[in-house]
Amino acid sequence: MPNESSTQFHMSAVRLNPVDIKLPDHIVKGAVLLDPRLSEWNPSVSGSSITSTYIQFDKEQDSIAELIRRSATDLGCPSAERYAMLLDKPKMFLSPENLDRIGQGFLLTLTASPDHYANRVSFLLTSASIANVEKALKDLQALSSDPTMVSAFYANPGVDILFSLLKQDAVKRNCNCISLCLNVISNMLELKLEGISWERVPTEIVQIIATFVTGHAKVEDGNTVLAALQMLEQFLVCNSDLHSQLVVREVPVQSLIRHLAKNDTRIVVAALSLIHTLWKKSDEQRRSEIIEHLQSVPFRTAVTSTLPREERSAAKLRSIIDAVLPLEKILISYYSKMIDEKPTNEEIEKITDLELFREACSSTSNGNSINQAQIILSSQNPFGKLLTRTIERYANSNDENMRMLVGENSMRIEGGKWQWLPLCMATMKLIVPILGISNNHDDQNQPVKSNLEKLLMLILSVECPVDALFNTTIQLFHTTWREMKANNNELHKVELVVREKLTKALDKSPQSFEILENHLSALPYWKLQEIWKKEEAQKENDQLDSDVVRWKNYENIFPMKKFRELKKRLQPSIEQLVRTNRKNFLKLGFIFKKYAKGGKAYHRDQFTLWKLDPTEKILTMSDVDSETRSNNALTMTSADIKTDDVRHVSIKDIESVQYGDEVGGRKGPLRALRLNLLDGERVTVTATSDKTLSIWMDGLKYDSKF
């Protein structure tokens, strides 16, 4: 066993400091390979027995020329020739601009200079052998994104030699040569070196490239079509009106639709993108033609067949959807434009002259006359030409269905019929936000939220989604009206139920209108009421579960108090009891005095009956004349209520409830109650009892959840 003295003998008497042997970041070591094709690029250089060498390079002190000289010497290459260094992945010549790509352990290739490359490629491109041309194009494509190589190629022979290849029949019959040539030209033009960009391409070449897309080329393959599609879009967006208008003229949309059936996702996306760009660069007449093609059966069939393909990955499917959505938004913008246009008198008369329209307007005892309908369509129509066009198309294409609806409605008892024109406007009010059509309607914040992507397959299943959704919704209105046994002043109440049905049915993302109608048929009013009850019960259970969780956490901290706390939790909440009493009071109704702007009394209709619907979702406001009954809403009869002045306000539409200022009255000061609706409107009423106002204020707050 070694003793202490022998151990100390092997230890250094002086503590050694650590030495950092790592090279500075600017000094790198790596290997240089000799290009096996060096003699092919430069015949003056023969092969060498040395194929590689190791070298150290100082990026701050050494130049690229010095690196090339030392490498050529180590590899035994003649010093009188010109050489260059090649980087790999992506392949390009080493230059001061990409010097940062050299790191520790670099691997470079010593090869001929760029001008030797350009001369060799030029020689092969002018060869009569199509195999030599294809070989040259492959070599050129590998370096077509390298500014150093492109600059040398522009010096000799220039990009015109590539343009001349596109005119040769032998090249046009070779798919590989065409796709390679197009890719090389595209990559070079993207660099925009020496002023050569997309605007400098001759129009004759643009026309030739268009033939590879339109089907007029001698041969066609996927790579050629993809390259041509991408190049044509670049011609459209370049700063040359001549080139963009030439593409618009040479490339019809129907020739692009046929490419949507291709299996290659890149081609599908490129074709959709080109259609969108064509629309942006076209005039109004050409845009109308493009919209017709977007509504056509070939386009819709191609898109709906390409989306469900199982072989497409999620990323590829996402790229197709992202390309389709802008085109569908073009259709939506087309409908939005119709909303902003006021219908002409001739268009209105064309509708009012329809026999079915006249029959529908006169089928109710208090229905609109033709003159009143003309006034509404011209001056009280928030949906412009979209409404008149949709009504006309519905009456002409669904005359049997419309006749059945009008006939059933006319057989209802007096006071229980819907009115045709208000029903059409309520229908349009619902479908406009569903499709994302912009309008200035006051209630636009409340309808079903638009989700174009979720409804994409549904929209593509029909030629005109507005017409199809109008047909479905107006039938749903008629059915729901019958289920609710509504009267003629409950249109808004029915509208809220129809909106709820549409929301639940559309949330299932139906693929066709037939499936949508099946979903709606499975949602009668009585079932919707059951759903509301279940939702309310689930909400209460969720709240109870959260209370139980809080109790368990509390029990773990304070185990001695669990029985006392459990007793408290089993007792009904005072707040909940008060809330229930408030709701019941609101359901009984109360007659308030209307408060005019500026504190002035109304000339008539000074009293209004407010009553909460049993579902606790709708607040009904009815104008009444009887001041003597203003303290007893239960004694009101239907004769006391003006059926023409009944308003239904959804509780969800109430933004806030406030106490108003104290105002003077004949019998003393009155306290005001103000409802602030989401659309900016304010409804103010007064009462002599502060207690009544407090109950209503608390009750509405509990219901509206703000």
Confidence bin at 618 (pLDDT 50/70/90): confident
Domain boundaries, the chain: 27-112, 115-338, 342-523, 528-571, 577-704
Question: Count of alpha carbons within 13 Å of 681, Cβ hemisphere only?
Answer: 7
Percent of the chain with pLDDT over 70: 83
pTM above threshold 0.85: no
Residue (of 394, 448, 444) closest to 421 by Cα position: 394
Q: DSSP strand E in 598-681: where? A: 607-612, 618-624, 641-650, 654-663, 670-677
pLDDT for residue 671: 75
Which two three-digit tokens encode residue 511? 């693929």
Confidence bin at 441 (pLDDT 50/70/90): very low
Residue 204 has pLDDT above 90, yes or no: yes
Residue-wise pLDDT for 12-69, tens only, equals 566 777 776 777 888 999 999 999 999 999 998 887 788 999 999 998 899 999 999 9
Q: What is the CATH number of domain 577-704?
A: 2.30.29.30
Residue 561 has pLDDT above 60, yes or no: no
* Gap between the Cα atoms of 232 and 251, Å rounded: 9
Q: State mean pLDDT over 685-700.
A: 82
Domains 27-112 and 115-338 share a fold: no
Quick one: 115-338 is in which CATH superfamily? Leucine-rich Repeat Variant (1.25.10.10)
Residue 199 has pLDDT above 50, yes or no: yes
Instruction: Return mean pLDDT, the chain.
Output: 83
Q: Which residues contact 423 (CB under 8 A, 6 or more apart)?
A: 474, 477, 491
* Gap between the Cα atoms of 245 and 235, Å rounded: 9
> What is the fold of 27-112?
Ubiquitin-like (UB roll) (3.10.20)
Give the CA radius of gyration of the chain. Answer: 40
